[in-house]
């Protein structure tokens, strides 16, 4: 069974590549993508840490609740490991 993760519900300032509409939502790891430079440092010309990046699959039901157009459709997004917590 795929690993279930929750996107941390944080609203820090700065250059963030985690879409706000996915914060706090639970999805499954679709695949691991490897290590990538942390954009939150890279964007400011800082020496960037290497961070694991994942493709996480969410159902539209999870993202939009009763307002979902079709609850079983899905959305995949790339989320850095430091934004994810195990469920």
Q: How far is the CB of 44 from another protein (least distance, A)?
A: 17
Q: Are 42 and 51 in contact (CB under 8 A)?
A: no
Nearer to another protein, 8 or 17 (CB): 17
Site for another protein in 15-74 (CB under 8 A): 17-19, 21, 33, 36, 39, 53, 55, 63-64, 69-70, 72-74
Q: Which is nearer to another protein, 3 or 73 (CB)?
A: 73
Cα R_g (the chain), whole angstroms: 14
DSSP 24-69: T-EEEEEEEEEEEE-HHHHTTTPPPPEEEEEEEEEEHHHHHGGG-S
Residue 24 Cβ vs another protein, minimum distance, rounded to whole Å: 16
The whole-angstrom separation of Cα 61 and Cα 84 is 19
In the complex, the residues that contact another protein under the rule CB under 8 A are 17-19, 21, 33, 36, 39, 53, 55, 63-64, 69-70, 72-80
């Amino acid at each position: 069974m795929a690993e279930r993760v929750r996107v941390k519900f944080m609203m820090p300032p700065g250059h963030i590549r985690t879409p706000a509409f996915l914060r706090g939502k639970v999805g499954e790891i679709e695949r691991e993508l490897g290590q990538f430079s942390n954009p939150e440092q890279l964007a400011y010309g800082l020496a960037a840490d290497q961070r694991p990046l994942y493709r996480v699959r969410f159902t539209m039901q999870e993202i939009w609740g009763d307002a979902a157009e079709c609850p079983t459709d899905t959305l995949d997004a790339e989320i850095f490991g430091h934004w994810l917590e195990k469920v």
